[in-house]
Structure 1
Amino acid sequence: MPAPFALELCGFREGRPNTSDKNDSLSQELGHAFFELLGVPKDKSAPKTVDKAWSAAMVADLVKQMAPTAPHLGVRAERRLEEFEQYAYLNALKTLAEDASPEVMTALIRLERATQSTGPELPQLVNKLKETLAAADGRRRALVDLLGDESPLRLDVAVDRSVPPAPADASGNPKHLVAGFSLKWSLRTDRLQDPRTQGAKMAAMRRGRMPHFAAVTMEPRPYMLGRLGRGTGDLDCVYHLALSPLIEAVQAVFTDNKDRVRQRDMFMRMVEQRRLRDYDDLVAYVATL
């Protein structure tokens, strides 16, 4: 069953479905068949931007659907990994990178002025202390530069729960991330890498249990869905906002030649292997976390 908010995000731009690539005629053919089955009016204009509206609608829907069965879960948009228990240590590098040397040097200068009239030995000790602190700061900076400050992309939608025994706002403990989602309305070659990179970094950088991580998309083309979801290991799966209408559209459009039949068969294998899942599967699985 399509996501409750999917239809409101669909529309046409210059006669093309807003899921379709303007440079790909097959993408447009499939997009028209897909939108017809989905029930998108042909005179409906596409929203100017989808991303923000989509993440807000998905968060609202998950909050509503989780309330009766999983009220312990929180759902939020645009979250940094460092906010969550398994990745909170990443904030340590930012703390280490903070430069306290100006404040320390100011205090030393004041100390030096205060001790100048007491004899030559104290100023010499202050100068020695300055040199020691400068050397220590140099070593700290070198370590920070070696570690770098690269961090994963933000999670478009994050699902979390409180860390026992107290919630974050009471104890200061970060939430535990149970699921994260990368939202890609449509797929292009340059957009395919983001979810994979995010998933690989989340797996490598976690301290504790790996959250469920998946891409969510409205892309109709089997080829692009295959490139995202076939066996990379960086994603648990790919969720589609309207899988049932898409299956019908693919079976209707991909029949003319061997290449289309091959793509159709690959697409159906992804569905059968649960590499490609429906939005309802996302809701049902999250409720178990």
Structure 2
Amino acid sequence: MPAPFALELCGFREGRPNTSDKNDSLSQELGHAFFELLGVPAEKVAPKTVDKAWSAAMVADLAERIAPTAPHLGVRAERRLEEFEQYAHLNALKALAEDASPEVASALTRLERATHSTGSELASLVAAVNEAMTAADGRRRALVDLLGDESPLRLDVAVDRAVPSSPAGVFDVANHLVAGFSLKWSLRTDRLQDPRTQGAKMATMRRGRMPHFAAVTMEPRPYMLGRLGRGTGDLDCVYHLALPPLIEAVRAVFTDNRDRIRQRDIFMRMVEQRRLRDYDDLVAYVATL
């Protein structure tokens, strides 16, 4: 059964399904068959963008459906990795760059005031300490600049739970990340690797248990789904918002030549191997975390 919010996001642009590539005739043929099975009216106009509406709808749907069995879980959109327990250390560099030792600076200010009544020797000492602090701060900032500043990784949808207490250290971290999802309505070559790159970084940067991480898509083409899902373990799997109708559409369209039959067979192997799963599987899995 399709995700309950999927049909709201489907529609046509200049006569083609908004899951289809305008430069790929097979993508459009499959898209039309797919939308017909989904029951998308031919006159329905596709929304200009789906990203924000999709993430909000998925968060609301997941929160409602897992609440009976997993009330301890929170579901949120657009979260940064360093907000969670396993990745809190990613804030260390930023904290180091911004640390101006306010406690020491405050103590020196009080000491400077005291020098007005104690003579020039102490004033000279205070000035030397100030100079040393300024030099040390400059060296620290130069080293931080040399390390660079990568853009923080964001999860389109995150599922988390509270932890009994914050980990030892300077960061106030409330939640433990149990699952994260990268949402890709359709797949294009220039952004196909984004979820896999994100998954690889999450695995190498974590401190603690690896969260369940997967891509979620509405892409119909077996070839593109295969390029995303037949990876090296960067993703646990790929979830599809409407897998049963897509299976039916692929079986109907990919029949008339050897190349199409090969793509159909690869697609069906992905389903059988559970590399490609339905959205209902996502909901059921999260409810057990």
TM-score by length of structure 1 reads 0.91
Secondary structure at the aligned position of 1:210 is classed as coil
Q: Which residue of 1 aligns with 2:239?
A: 239
Q: Which residue of 2 aligns with 1:3?
A: 3
Higher mean alpha-carbon deviation, 260-269 vs 134-143, is at 134-143
Q: Which residue of 2 aligns with 1:140?
A: 140
Determine whether 1:129 maps to 2:129.
yes
Identity %: 87
Deviations 1:86-117 (A, max 9, x none): 11222222221115279977985785576367
CA 1:105/1:286 → structure 2, altered by over 3 Å: closer, same or farther? closer
CA 1:94/1:60 → structure 2, altered by over 3 Å: closer, same or farther? same
Secondary structure at the aligned position of 2:193 is classed as helix
Secondary structure at the aligned position of 1:89 is classed as helix
Q: Unaligned 5+ residue runs, structure 2? A: 167-171
RMSD: 2.2
Tell me which stretches of 4 or more aligned residues in structure 1 moved more than 4 Å: 101-114
* Residue identity matched to 1:186: S
1:122 to partner: Cα distance: 2.2
C-alpha contact 2:88 2:173 (8 A) present in aligned 1: no
Question: In structure 2, what is the Cα distance between the partners aligned to 1:44 and 1:160?
Answer: 36
C-alpha contact 1:152 1:198 (8 A) present in aligned 2: no
Give the number of aligned pairs: 284
Match runs of 1:70-89 below 5 Å: 70-89=70-89
1:121 to partner: Cα distance: 2.0
Secondary structure at the aligned position of 1:179 is classed as strand
Deviations 1:142-168 (A, max 9, x none): 3322443324421111111111269xx
Match runs of 1:149-160 below 5 Å: 149-160=149-160
Question: In structure 2, what is the Cα distance between the partners aligned to 1:198 and 1:205?
Answer: 10
Secondary structure at the aligned position of 2:216 is classed as strand
Secondary structure at the aligned position of 2:92 is classed as helix
C-alpha contact 2:11 2:18 (8 A) present in aligned 1: yes
C-alpha contact 1:30 1:249 (8 A) present in aligned 2: yes
C-alpha contact 2:83 2:173 (8 A) present in aligned 1: no
1:271 to partner: Cα distance: 0.8
Q: Which residue of 2 aligns with 1:169?
A: none
TM-score by length of structure 2 reads 0.91
Q: Which residue of 2 aligns with 1:52?
A: 52
1:131 to partner: Cα distance: 2.8
